[in-house]
Structure 1
Amino acid sequence: MPLFFYMFPLVLGLHCAPPNRSEGKLTTCDSSQQNATPYKMSSINANFAFNLYWRFTVETTDWNIFFFPVSIFSALAMLSLETCHCTQTQIINSLEFKLTDRPMTEIQQGFRHLICLLNFPKKELELQVGNTFFIGKQLKPLHSFLDDVKSLYETEVFSTDFSNVSAAQKEINSHVEKQTKEKVVGLIEDLKPNTMMALENYTYFKAQWANLFDPSKTEKGSSFSVDKTTIVQVPMMHQMEQYYHLVDTELNCAVLQIDYSKSALALFVLPREGQMEWVEGPMSSETLKKWNCLLQKGWIDLFAPKFSISATYDLGAIFLKIGIRDAFADNANFLELTGDSGLQLSNAAHKAVLHIGEKGTETVIVPEVRFLYQPEITLLHLIIKFDRSFLLLILKKSTRSILFLGKVVDPTEV
């Protein structure tokens, strides 16, 4: 089964300047012929993504975490377009921007360039990010708002009868299900009766590994350590192949890069036993740049789990904690959207479904990592077995954007 990834809000970018350009390796040096706007935003996007990740770790201690930073980032960026005064300032500040440093028009164009580069269908890799506004029938969106969201973000706007809660909920869920090719079902389960506006953000990602795993070599039941007392059984894929990898002695982890056949790559980060917090605490764009410069290609005896997991987040609660308060309060200012006062954001949901298998992105896992360097043997290779908790990042090569960021604690929890 190929890799599928579906979610609702966020984006990360990163870049590095390694001394040499390598085929297959993520590089950031050769950007002269590409649009520079996404690169200017890369460190800002990275800060936003890791900020969200740390918030999720507090909310879901010792549990699976995964989300699509680009998706959440783009949703907030679009929302900021239609807000005024304090509401807009809070959203822009949460995205790590400062209106005193850049004009709003430059920020919005940067968002637009990033989204354009993210949406591209291909046979081996398909990535589409989209936003949809559902607005109460009694509200009349301004023409300027409709023009802006269509031209800048290719966003759909639907007039919805929120007085019929069950019908409105079904309409929103059906739209999400259709856009994610039936991979995200039942996103909204508790729509509030007084809802006047809902913003839905979706992401669809499907990709194939550059080097497919042989299904005949997948072990049906292999042990995966969730914690010191919990062991679960998962199918474990196996492949001997040349991969870019490194052992970070400072952070006590192994980093493995697995390329997709087109335009994207995955970084699997396996901490030593009990060292997850040691690794995730200092994670930043600088960490990713360092890794990119140190990755070396060599033979790896790889064991990676095959599994499917899902996660749902109430982004409203998270947004409040990162400083977006007015959008959900009585003093919200969305006058640029409808010209009506008293309108406030009523729902912000994020659901992600991830599958990893022999053909493509479905997910990877970790319990015992064995760092076996054997200098006395002619053929040197590293054995990496993802049989305990690990971090997973999926990046778009050309923009260095983090498409996916997550932590796999228990691959059997759906």
Structure 2
Amino acid sequence: MKPISCLFFFFFLIGLHVHCDHLSGHHDDQENDGNSTEHQHPPLAEEQGNKTTKCHKIAPSNADFAFTLYRQIASDGAGKNVFLSPLSISTAFAMLSLGAKSETQTQIHKGLAFNLSEFEDKEIHEGFHHLIHMLNRPNNKAKVNIGNALFIEESLKLQPKFLEDAKTLYDSEGFSSNFQNTAVAEKQINDYVENKTHGKITHVVQNLDPNTLMVLVNYIFFKAFWENPFNTQSIREEDFFVNANTTVKVNMMFQRNYYKFLHDDNLNCSVVEIPYKGDASALFILPDEGKMQHVEAGLVKEHLSKWEKTFKYAEVRLYIPKFSLSTSYDVKDLLQRLGVTHVFGHDADLSGIVEEGKLVVTKAIHKAVVDVHETGTEAAAVTVMTMVGVSAFTSPPPVFRFNRPFLFLICDKKTYSILFFGKVMNPTEK
């Protein structure tokens, strides 16, 4: 049987429209800056030494933003599944802030949880630059691809510095687009996204406004195999208790193996860390009965570091359902609630992007898909289970049965980054 892995795909879109002045003419460098410009990554060896701390410096702010954004989304529907990449959203808006000025820039940085008394603008962008390169490292068995692109109206004159910084700091590709022909522009963007997400996100852009001047895309793709694969033969149909009144049938994966785990008495939840091959791991968080809202309200980045120090490592009986989620969010609404308002209205100052005229962000969309499976019938699953079984004679191992709503995070351990954040309320709802 062909092995099945965990796949995560994200798309973030910003549509920029003219706000007042009509923009005309053609950029002298449009042929070079607007058409595809595959930017060469400098070798990672050039970014070692004291530069390795740059992505770590922005990690706490990115984590704060992740938890704050999650709570905003969860508050909109307590009974709904949640799945997003806060890192995709923060990267896209950080790149946009290259061209933001005055209060518009300040609001973006504050909304992304950057304390402006601790960060210079340059440090934020250098942090993301280093983070992008660390996540894209080719030798990681947990595959992560993150990137950015600008689709630019043919007549739009961009500030050369914005283009250069977008390429240099965010490895952004640039494409010349004709938004007057919306069908062609939509196909161009959709084909790009489909290619970068390996076919998992298609036709994401529809009904483009012909007045669009630029579309900014950030994508992140993740593919990894469990370090200890689940055995297909151990999957059983079991009940999942959505709430007191609703029970659904799920395909429950099972494994008896050694994992890091704990129970947080203050937060009222159990946590199991499930490692992937490579430098990534998943944290599965099971709130105690009736404590989901308590966990959601209290979960902060400090818990992650505390758990890392207090984890036990022992044999456990682990039950996790197979599930697939697909979500879509209006990021404009979410960020406005976080105080990022100027960039979406009459007060927008994105003068660092264009040479003349005024731009405003009119749409910000985030789409996400996740599939969590077993990895087929790899021998490693059987071998590991046999070894584990031999050692368990004195007392039964603890049981972690994720058969009611739970949270999960996917983390990159090298950069201390939360790549993905989700809540499974009903694993049978796609």
TM-score of the superposed pair, with normalisation by structure 2: 0.83
Residue type of the alignment partner of 1:324 = V
- The answer to whether structure 1 residue 95 and structure 2 residue 98 are counterparts is no
**Deviation (angstroms), 1:9:** 5.4
Please show how residues 201-240 of structure 1 align to structure 2 within 5 Å. Answer: 201-219=218-236, 221-240=237-256
Instruction: Report Cα offsets for 1:62-95 as digits up to 9, x if no partner.
Output: 1111111221111111111111112111111111
The aligned residue for residue 3 of structure 1 is 6
Q: Is the contact made by 2:140 and 2:279 (CA closer than 8 Å) also made in structure 1?
A: no
Q: Is the contact made by 1:199 and 1:347 (CA closer than 8 Å) also made in structure 2?
A: no
**Root-mean-square deviation (Å):** 2.1
Measured in 2, the distance between the counterparts of 1:319 and 1:189 equals 22
Please show how residues 10-409 of structure 1 align to structure 2 within 5 Å. Answer: 35-122=52-139, 124-219=141-236, 221-359=237-375, 378-409=394-425
Q: Is the contact made by 2:100 and 2:350 (CA closer than 8 Å) also made in structure 1?
A: yes
Residue type of the alignment partner of 1:268 = F
Measured in 1, the distance between the counterparts of 2:49 and 2:256 equals 36
Mean Cα deviation higher: 175-184 or 342-351: 342-351
The aligned residue for residue 25 of structure 1 is none
Instruction: Report Cα offsets for 1:347-366 as digits up to 9, x if no partner.
Output: 32111110111129xxxxxx
Measured in 2, the distance between the counterparts of 1:123 and 1:3 equals 15
Size of the aligned set, in residue pairs, is: 377
Q: Is the contact made by 1:9 and 1:69 (CA closer than 8 Å) also made in structure 2?
A: no
Residue identity over aligned pairs, in percent, reads: 40
Q: Is the contact made by 1:64 and 1:407 (CA closer than 8 Å) also made in structure 2?
A: yes
Structure number with higher relative contact order (C-alpha < 8 Å, ≥ 6 residues apart)? 2
Q: Is the contact made by 2:406 and 2:424 (CA closer than 8 Å) also made in structure 1?
A: yes
Measured in 2, the distance between the counterparts of 1:196 and 1:163 equals 10
Structure with greater Cα Rg: 2
CA gap of 1:7–1:357, structure 2 versus 1, over 3 A, is: same
**Deviation (angstroms), 1:44:** 1.4
Q: Is the contact made by 1:119 and 1:129 (CA closer than 8 Å) also made in structure 2?
A: yes
Residue type of the alignment partner of 2:142 = L
CA gap of 1:405–1:336, structure 2 versus 1, over 3 A, is: same
Measured in 1, the distance between the counterparts of 2:239 and 2:50 equals 47
TM-score of the superposed pair, with normalisation by structure 1: 0.86
**Deviation (angstroms), 1:120:** 2.4
**Deviation (angstroms), 1:406:** 1.1
Could you say which structure has the higher helix fraction?
2
**Deviation (angstroms), 1:186:** 2.6
CA gap of 1:274–1:380, structure 2 versus 1, over 3 A, is: same
Residue type of the alignment partner of 1:148 = D
CA gap of 1:164–1:60, structure 2 versus 1, over 3 A, is: farther
SS of 1:35's partner is helix
CA gap of 1:87–1:412, structure 2 versus 1, over 3 A, is: same
Gaps of 5+ in 1: 11-30, 361-376
Residue type of the alignment partner of 1:192 = D
